[in-house]
Amino acid sequence: MRMSALMHIISVTKILRSLFLLRKRGRRSVIWRSLLLRLHSDKTYLGLRRDLSVAFKAAEAKIPLEVRALDSRDGLSFIDINEPGISSAGAFERLHQINMLKAGIRTCYLALGPDGRPCYMQWLIPSSENDKIQAFYGNIFPRLKEDEALLEGAYTAEYCRGQGVMASAMAQIAERASELGARQVITFVGERHIASLKGCKRAGFVPYVMRREKYRLFRHRVTFTVLPEGAPYPFDLENKHPRASNADETT
């Protein structure tokens, strides 16, 4: 069996398993949205990179944070998909975190708030996990080189959003990559997720590649386009070339 066909089967199986779990929890709106996206959709993601050999002072969060690796004794109630009042979109987001934990991909980090509760989680994945990355995600990430690490699975707890947690925690987690022998850290963010992209910029990341994904009847096609050195973020371009005012449009 060709590798592409095998990855397609694995992807569909994983999707169906997640959707079945969501159906049991009464999350039908998320099920339909997920199915429609995989029937026909086009998405673009910005690949970002941070060179750890270049000094960078990241923005600090509005609350003090302690960043450390996940411990088996840590409570993870902040990603409970059965929490009362959680939205369908929130449940789907949390399910992704749970699935990553089940996949056994290393290494998950937590940021703890001043009360000791987890308020952020994200994986810092070394190149030794390339096979696990491909088994879980398919071909949406380039295979990591020996001196590269991947940041993935960012999740900020609802109770501490808007506190600048992502940029600060992400920067601190990325810097742990040097302990793994990595000099470059990469991550990918949807081009429309402006708040997340701004957080990545504050964490020291710069654009380096564009990833385009197409779904057609559950078949998934991924292409990468390398960006020129110094390529700006989309919101930086908008700031340089603001839209014309109404007065300008009528003259």
Q: What is the pLDDT of residues 141-166, one digit of tens each?
A: 999 999 999 999 999 999 999 999 99
Is 48 inside a domain boundary? yes
**236 found inside a domain:** no
Give the other-Cβ count within 10 Å of 234's Cβ.
14
Q: Residue 44's CB: how many other CB atoms inside 10 A?
A: 13
What's the pTM value of the predicted model, to 2 decimals?
A: 0.85
Question: How far apart are alpha carbons 109 and 167 in whole angstroms?
Answer: 14
- Residue 177 forms part of a structural domain: yes
- At 19, which CATH number? 3.40.630.30
C-beta of residue 145 within 8 angstroms of C-beta of residue 127: yes
- Consecutive 10-residue averages of pLDDT for the chain (251 residues): 46 55 56 78 97 93 97 93 87 90 95 96 98 94 97 96 96 97 97 95 98 93 97 86 44 28
Whether 24 maps to a domain, the answer reads yes
Q: Could you list the residue range(s) of the whole structural domain that residue 151 is in?
A: 3-230
Residue 251 within any structural domain of the chain? no
User: Which helix (H) or strand (E) covers residue 69, if one does?
Assistant: strand 66-69
| 125 found inside a domain | yes
- Give the total number of structural domains in the chain: 1
